[in-house]
Amino acid sequence: MKNWIVTIIISVICANVVSSQQQLQVNLSLEDAIRLSQAHGSQIAQSRIQAMISSGAITAADGDFDPVFFSNLNYNVNESPSSGFFSSFGNTISRSYSASQGLRSNLRSGGNLELTVNEGYDDSSYLTSSQSNTSMSLSFNQPLLRGAFSMVATANERKAALAYDSDMLSITQASVDGVQAVVDAYWNLSFALADLEVKKQSLQLAENLRDITIAKFDVGAVARVEVTQTRADIASRQDSVLVAQNSVDTNHDGLRRLISAFESQDDWHVDFELVSDLPDAVTVDVDWHTLWDTAMSNRGDIQKLKLDIESAQLDFNVAEANMLPKLDFTANGTYSAQDNQIGSSLENLFDRDFPGYTFGFVFELPLSNSLYVGAKIQAQNKLLLAKRIFRDQSTDLAQQVRRALHDVNYYAERVGVTSHASNMAQLKLESEQLRLREGASTNYQVLQFQADLAVAQSQQLQAQSEYAKASVKLETVQGQVPTL
């Protein structure tokens, strides 16, 4: 790809066709236009960035289960007047340190686990010596009903994975859509350029007829009205040329926007010489159901809707599980020790002389449960909506496939019909010009036949262009990148 792009850049630099407006002209095939659009297409680039964002969301969701180290340290000084029994000790002065460290983590079962080590040092004026307390505790909490087990605990993680898969499918669909867009733009420009030539040729025929008519008028062979009528028709054809030129400029910009990188605005000053030939028009005999089945399997937007249903189903399952009352199992185990200093107290702690443990259950039952009832109603209807959207989109896709198939066969036949009509219009014009030279016709009739020829030629070009677009559409509507 890079080598090919370098070749294009070199061809632009070396191009020897430069207009008065510093426009560079380069040869461009349809295949090259497609490759450039895949490299520079806005929608594809945006879809790729969105996929990278989604990949970060997966990492963030997985972070819910990362172990967390925590620690704190506090120093406290307190002086207070003594009274009662403590009056014999004087005012009470207390200095203490407290610290805790540990690890905690959420579990994929929906519970959580925490290991904590606590240290405390107390030096009070009424104590004969300092006192240090240490303890180690392990606590565990596991939901048994609401919020229990991996379906609920990992829901965000799975939804993030589904969102990433959906965004990856967006890249695929953007690629296919980008191909169709550049094919349409390429053949639209091809038609606009060819139609401009038809309009110029028609204008040239009228101008030639004007020159002949003026020469005849000068010798008295025709009336002035013949000259006036010819000039009026020329003015109309000049307007048609202007309209056709504007169409060329517009379609040129449309193609530039799809295939250029626009790292600088100089890309607007590149004109394209289209070198690809229009394909031969042939009809297609295939069952549309076969094409539809392929489209249902390949189309990225259809696959995304399936993922939307899966995500909505997950939300509904979680909402349904949350309808249950809360019932959590809790357990806690501790070891504790005491000594004058922190260090010796920690040594005593590892002797595990003073164990303790607790376990129990926590139960909660909302009396109306409106919060979770409402959440379930929302999730249920979102699931129904996702399924309805999928069904409707499937029907729309069937319509698109049928239309694509109809268009291919319609334009294939129309190419033949318009080609014959164009040939007949050419023969009729030649016959009428011969009759004019023999004095058996008028300028008005010849001008009319010239106009008819221009219309027939434009219709033939348009039919060929539309067939070229429709033949590619028949593949892209199935989610396939065509082989040209």
Query: Beta-carbon neighbour count of residue 286 at 10 Å?
Result: 10
Contact criterion met (CB below 8 Å) for 450 and 240? no
Secondary structure (DSSP) of 190-214: HHHHHHHHHHHHHHHHHHHHHHHHH
pLDDT of residue 156: 94
> Token match 């959906």: residue?
166
Model pTM score: 0.83
Q: CA distances (Å), 309 to each of 50, 277, 305, 384, in order?
A: 20, 44, 6, 9
Biggest CA–CA distance in the chain, Å, is 145
Written as six digits, the tokens of 116 are 């904590």
Residue 439: strand, helix, or coil? coil
pLDDT of residue 18: 39
Q: Which residues contact 381 (CB under 8 A, 6 or more apart)?
A: none
List the one residue out of 270, 60, 309, 14 whose CA is nearest residue 160: 60
Residues composing the chain? 484
Q: How far apart are CA 123 and CA 342, in angstroms?
A: 12
- pLDDT < 70 regions, the chain: 1-22, 82-91, 124-128, 484
Written as six digits, the tokens of 57 are 């969301």
Q: CA distances (Å), 322 to each of 7, 87, 366, 375, 386, in order?
A: 61, 58, 11, 9, 21
Q: How far apart are CA 432 and CA 456, in angstroms?
A: 16
pLDDT of residue 90: 62
Domain locations in the chain? 2-40+157-311+382-476, 67-143+326-364
pLDDT of residue 5: 45
pLDDT of residue 91: 67
**CA 314: distance to chain centroid?**
23
Q: How far apart are CA 298 and CA 401, in angstroms?
A: 13
Instruction: Report the half-sphere exposure of 30 (CA within 13 A, side-chain side).
Output: 23
Q: How far apart are CA 315 and CA 158, in angstroms?
A: 10
Say which CATH superfamily domain 2-40+157-311+382-476 falls into: Outer membrane efflux proteins (OEP) (1.20.1600.10)
pLDDT of residue 468: 97
Alpha helices in 41-87 (DSSP H): 42-62
Q: How far apart are CA 300 and CA 104, in angstroms?
A: 41
Going by their DSSP bridges, the two strands 112-124 and 326-339 should be labelled as unpaired
Contact criterion met (CB below 8 Å) for 24 and 270? yes
pLDDT of residue 262: 84
Helix axes 300-321, 370-437, angle to 10 degrees: 170
Written as six digits, the tokens of 469 are 């677009």
Written as six digits, the tokens of 23 are 């426009």
Phi-psi map region of 220: left, alpha, beta (phi>0 left; psi -120 to 50 alpha): left
**CA 142: distance to chain centroid?**
40
Q: Which residues pair with 43 in a beta bridge?
A: none
pLDDT of residue 152: 93
List the one residue out of 265, 240, 238, 239 whose CA is nearest residue 253: 265
In terms of Cβ atoms closer than 10 Å to its own Cβ (0-12, 13-18, 19+), residue 479 is buried
pLDDT tens sequence across 228-271: 999 999 999 999 999 999 999 999 999 999 999 888 888 888 89
